[in-house]
Amino acid sequence: MQLKHYVFSKEKIKEAMRLLHRVEWTVKRSSTNLFFGEYRSVFKGKGKEFDQVVAYEFGDDIRDIDWNVTARLGALYRKKFVEERELILTLIVEDSPSLLFGSGTLTKRDAVMEIAGYLSILATGLYHRLCIVYVYPGGHSFIPPVKGRKQILSSMIKLFAMDPPSLWPLKQLTIPWSFLLKTLPRNTVMFWLGDFPSRPICREWIALSSRFEILGFRVEDPWEYALPQKESFLAFDPISGRVVKVDTAHPDIKKRQQKWRLEKDNYWKSLFPGKFSRCSFLLGTPLFPKLMHFLVERSIV
């Protein structure tokens, strides 16, 4: 399914445009030079293009040997490659019902969409193509790669206009890894945005992580670190479909929360073991400065 076949209401489009304008204004008033080409090495990608044939030296990859030139000249020569300059920045937005949580005025979903907006502006500033994979309970939508400010902003408006996932009935959330592995070229950099609950790692993920550069972005709520002290509240349980009372002062609740937190963090780090392959945001704090700090830090490593 492609988003271009989805019919959006006028109110949804207006709301999406307001968010996009706010995101773009935040970027424009920033003092960073990232979007003007100073940090073009932020995303290196794993795609390569042929440059020239050079003499083979000890330590070079034997898989790059050009056997035709070697046979003709009587000495070992190899193909030299350079990283492709134009990348396809692919946003994988995993819109799970858990993102609708927020202990303050904003939800985690609000923050995820805002971060996706910043990354889309980055794509326009660095003259890359932007592709969007929107994953929701029960299915997914795909926007093919586009280039240029007008086309990229149009794609983002479609993403922002998507309705939040329903809490009930509960449906499975499945990212089409096999489809992406077959569809996307090697000069692809993936941004995976979501809540990242602990779950088994699929086989396709191993192939994808070796083929593409993949960065993880998650948003956490302060309550995920520590529940309120001596306070009880009502919450909707999407598993049972019931409203339940949560007593945060109960010792068993605290133990279960700590166990859940540990499992989630371990899963997060197993997906993105490198320090500069993952970035966590805290809901209620400025998102753009944290994103810029992360991108600039990884560009100089």
**Which domains are seen in the chain, by residue range?**
3-37+85-299 (3.40.50.410), 49-83 (no CATH)
Strand partners, 93: 134, 193
pLDDT score recorded for residue 10: 84
Joined tokens for residue 190: 């993936």
Cα angle 49, 53, 57; round to 5 = 110
pLDDT score recorded for residue 178: 92
Side chain identity at residue 183, one-letter code: T
Q: State the average pLDDT over residues 100-116.
A: 94
By DSSP bridging, strand 88-94 and strand 77-83 are unpaired
The set of residues, in sequence order, having a beta carbon less than 8 Å from that of 127 and lying 6+ positions away, is 86, 147
pLDDT score recorded for residue 171: 85
pLDDT score recorded for residue 48: 58
Q: Looking at residue 240, what DSSP letter applies?
A: T
Is 38 a residue whose pLDDT tops 60? no
Chain centroid to Cα 153, Å, comes to 17
Lowest-pLDDT range of 1-10, 110-119, 289-298: 1-10
To the question of pTM greater than 0.85 for the whole model, the response is: no
Q: Which one of 72-76, 137-141, 214-218 scores highest in mean pLDDT?
A: 214-218
- % the chain with pLDDT above 70: 86
Side chain identity at residue 190, one-letter code: M
* Measured distance between the N- and C-terminal CA atoms of the chain, rounded to whole angstroms: 39
* Pairwise pLDDT comparison (185 vs 130), residue with the higher score: 130
CB 248 within 8 A of CB 83: no
* Pairwise pLDDT comparison (40 vs 279), residue with the higher score: 279
Q: State the average pLDDT over residues 180-187.
A: 88
Average pLDDT, the chain: 85
Is 52 a residue whose pLDDT tops 60? yes
Joined tokens for residue 76: 């070992």
pLDDT score recorded for residue 35: 46
pLDDT score recorded for residue 239: 62
User: Using CA atoms, how far apart are residues 150 and 277, in angstroms rounded to an integer?
Assistant: 29
Q: State the average pLDDT over residues 8-14.
A: 85
218-267 pLDDT, tens digit each: 999 999 988 887 678 887 776 667 888 888 888 888 888 899 999 999 99
Query: Which DSSP string do the residues of 8-20 spell out, in sequence order?
Result: --HHHHHHHHHHH
pLDDT score recorded for residue 2: 46
Query: In the chain, where do the E strands start and end?
Result: 48-55, 77-83, 88-94, 129-136, 139-146, 188-194, 213-220, 232-237, 242-247, 278-282
pLDDT score recorded for residue 59: 65
Is 3 a residue whose pLDDT tops 80? no
Lowest-pLDDT range of 22-36, 101-115, 139-153: 22-36
Is 273 a residue whose pLDDT tops 90? yes
Is 31 a residue whose pLDDT tops 70? no
- % the chain with pLDDT above 90: 42
The 3-state DSSP class for residue 191 equals strand
Chain centroid to Cα 73, Å, comes to 47
pLDDT score recorded for residue 44: 57
CB 154 within 8 A of CB 13: no
SS (H, E, C) 198-220: CCCCCHHHHHHHHHCEEEEEEEE
pLDDT score recorded for residue 163: 92
pLDDT tier for residue 37 given thresholds of 50, 70 and 90:
very low
Chain centroid to Cα 251, Å, comes to 35
